[in-house]
Amino acid sequence: MFEKKFDFYSPINLKSYNLDLIIRYQLDILGKLDPFTKRHSENVANLCCRLCEYLKCKKSFTVHCTIGGYLHDIGKMFIPPEILNKPSRLTDEEYEVMKTHTTLGYNLCMGDIRLRPYALFALDHHEALNGSGYPNGITKKDIPYGAQIVRVADEYDALVTKRQYTTHVNISETLKDLIKDAQPDPRFIALDQLNTHEKEGKINGLILKKLFKVVIDDTLYEISCVMDYVEYLKEQIKRLELIQSYQRKADNSNKEKTNVITGTKNRAIYGDTYIIDNLCGLNFRISPNSFYQVNHNQAEKLYNKAKEYANLTGEENLIDLYCGTGTIGLTMASECKSLIGVEIVPQAIRDAKLNAKLNNINNAQFICGDATKCGEKLKNDNISPDVVVVDPPRKGLTEDLILSIKAMSPKRVVYVSCDPGTLARDLKFFADNDYSPVELTPFDLFPRTSHVENVCLLVRNN
- The catalytic residues are 418
| CA gap 40, 222 in Å, rounded | 20
Residues in Cβ contact with 31 at an 8 Å cutoff, skipping those fewer than 6 apart: 37, 38
Beta 249-253 vs 265-270: how paired, if at all? Answer: antiparallel
Q: Is the peptide bond before 135 cis (omega within 30 degrees of 0)?
A: yes
Residue 435's SS3 state is strand
Helical pair 145-160 and 59-71, crossing angle rounded to 10 deg: 50
Q: DSSP string of 102-118?
A: HHHHHHHHHTSTTTGGG
Q: In 226-379, which ranges are E strands? A: 249-253, 265-270, 275-279, 282-286, 317-321, 338-343, 364-368
What is the C-alpha radius of gyration for the chain, rounded to an integer number of angstroms? Answer: 41
The answer to whether the beta carbons of residues 80 and 104 sit under 8 Å apart is no
| CA gap 396, 401 in Å, rounded | 10
Measured in degrees and rounded to the nearest 5, phi and psi for residue 251 equal -115, 140
Helical pair 92-99 and 101-110, crossing angle rounded to 10 deg: 20
